[in-house]
Each structure stands twice: as structure tokens, then as C-alpha cells.
Amino acid sequence: MLQAARENVRWHWTFHVVTSAAVAFSLLLIAVFLLILNNLQAVAERWGRDLQITLYLEEGLSEPDRADLEKTIGGWQEVEAVAYVSPSQALEALKAALGESAQVLEGIRENPLPGSLEVRLKKAFRNLEAIDAVAGRCRALKGAAEVDYGGAWIGRFFSLLYVLRWVGITLGFLLLFGTVVVISSTLTMGFYARKDEIEILRLVGATETFVRVPFLLEALLQGVGGAGLAVALCWALYMAFRLRLGGSWADFAGWSQPVFLDPASILAILLLGIALGVLGSVLTFARFSRASA
């Protein structure tokens, strides 16, 4: 059976190369999309860990009222810590953030920045829904002039991830369906090219397993070969991106470099290639059985 599969690949190698390329193209698109989505998800998780609520205090709020406000917020179950930032500390932080441009603040005689409370939530509550709920409660407190946590743009970013995830799932299914059809078509051509040989084998008593296993092996070879090529091409694209745009990504994401697919994702792509080969062969067997009936 292995000999038959090897001979069929050797005599019809162009069909197998084209099919493996189609498998590789489909799985490459899925792998690249998964790579992008995983890195964006990592960015979202990192930003989620760094999210905190800033409550700006009303001007002229007394020290006892500020302390009571801090104690009230600190007693909420979602809150991990509350830190007071004085106007002078806020101004120093602004100067540090501006760097060399901080000289534009030298002409300011009075500090325009208000005091604030920085509210950090517990890990279990570092999500957009919980932060939005706590921010709403902060706005209702007496002494709170304004509450900010960047909810609008963070919400849009999470919504983008949600849309990308479903777009990827939909396109992935369409690509996989098309790949199964391509594999099945290639195997069908192999069936019809060897139709006389197959009929002779059946006449001399060959079992269906003996007839079909070589085609199944060919389909598995196409699936695994295409999946391996897809992972290799994805790695090459990843390294090219890392070399050319790694610094820009670090500025955006907050860490040194983007990360490649984890071993579980690579294994899933290889298994997906095997599954495509099996499905393509099953579809071909069903089609050829109907044609022979």
C-alpha cells in the first residue's frame, strides 16, 4: 500500500504539489490571523492589568473629606488599592512624561492640576464591565469632580478584537471547506486515472481497505505537507515583521517583541492539516462509490 501511494505521488506529482500549496495557503492565512489575534489579545490583557481609575478631586476639598473618600472607595470589594496623588506630584509626573518638552511648563506660575485618587482593582475585576461599574459609583461620590479610565477607546479596542475573532472563524471555515474540496478533487482525479487498475484489483479479490489506503496516505501527505509549509512560512513572516517593525510594536504593546504561535497552536495547525486530508479522502471515497454503483 505504501508502494502504491509512493508510485501515485511520483506519477502525478504536479497534482500533489498544487494541492499541498492550496492547503499551505489556506492554513497560512489561518496561522497568520491566529498570530495577529494572539498578540492583540496579549496586548489587551496587558492593558487590562494596567487599567486603573483616576478620580479627580473637587478644588478646595478638605483633607478629612479626602481621607473619608479614600476610605470609602478602599472598602469596596472590587478595589485592591487607592493612592492619593497631590497636585504637586501630578505636576512632577507630567514633567517626567514630557521629558525634554517639559520646559513649556516653566512659565506656569500656579499648578493647574487637581489632586486625584488612583483606584486599582483586584485581578478578578480588571475587565471593562467591572471598571465601568466602579467608575460610575465613583462619579456619584461627593467630592468627585471627574472620573477617567479611558473607557471609550479601550471599549473600541475590545470590540475590534471581538469582531476580528468572528471574522477569522467565518473565513477560516470557508477556507477549510475550499481546501477539502481541492484535496477531494485531486484524489478523485487519481481515482479515475487508476480506475482500470482499481477494478482489476477488486476482481482479483483486493479488499476496499487495500484499494483506499494508498489514497488516504496521499491525502494525509498533502495535509501534513501543506500544514508544515504553512507553519514555516508563518515563521518567516513573523521573523521579517520582528526585524523590520519590532521596535514599533514594542512602543505600541509595551514589551520588547511580538511572540510567535505557542506549541499548542502549531500542533493544532498540523492536526488540522491531517483532518483536512482525512475529510478530503472520505469525500472522495463517497463520490467514487456513487460513481461506481
Please state whether the predicted TM-score (pTM) of the whole model is above 0.75: no
Residue 37 above 50 pLDDT?
yes
Task: Render pLDDT for 101-150 as a digit per residue (tens, 0 to 9).
Answer: 666 666 677 777 888 999 988 878 877 788 888 989 999 998 988 888 76
Task: Render pLDDT for 246-262 as a digit per residue (tens, 0 to 9).
Answer: 666 666 655 556 778 88
Task: Render pLDDT for 153-181 as a digit per residue (tens, 0 to 9).
Answer: 666 767 777 777 787 778 777 877 777 77
Residue type for position 272: L
Q: Which domains does the chain have, with CATH numbers?
A: 2-47+155-292 (no CATH), 52-148 (3.30.70.3040)
Predicted confidence at residue 5, as pLDDT, reads 46
Do residues 120 and 138 lie in contact, with contact meaning Cβ atoms separated by under 8 Å?
Answer: no
Task: Render pLDDT for 176-233 as a digit per residue (tens, 0 to 9).
Answer: 777 777 766 766 666 666 666 666 766 777 666 666 677 677 777 778 888 899 999 9
Predicted confidence at residue 45, as pLDDT, reads 67
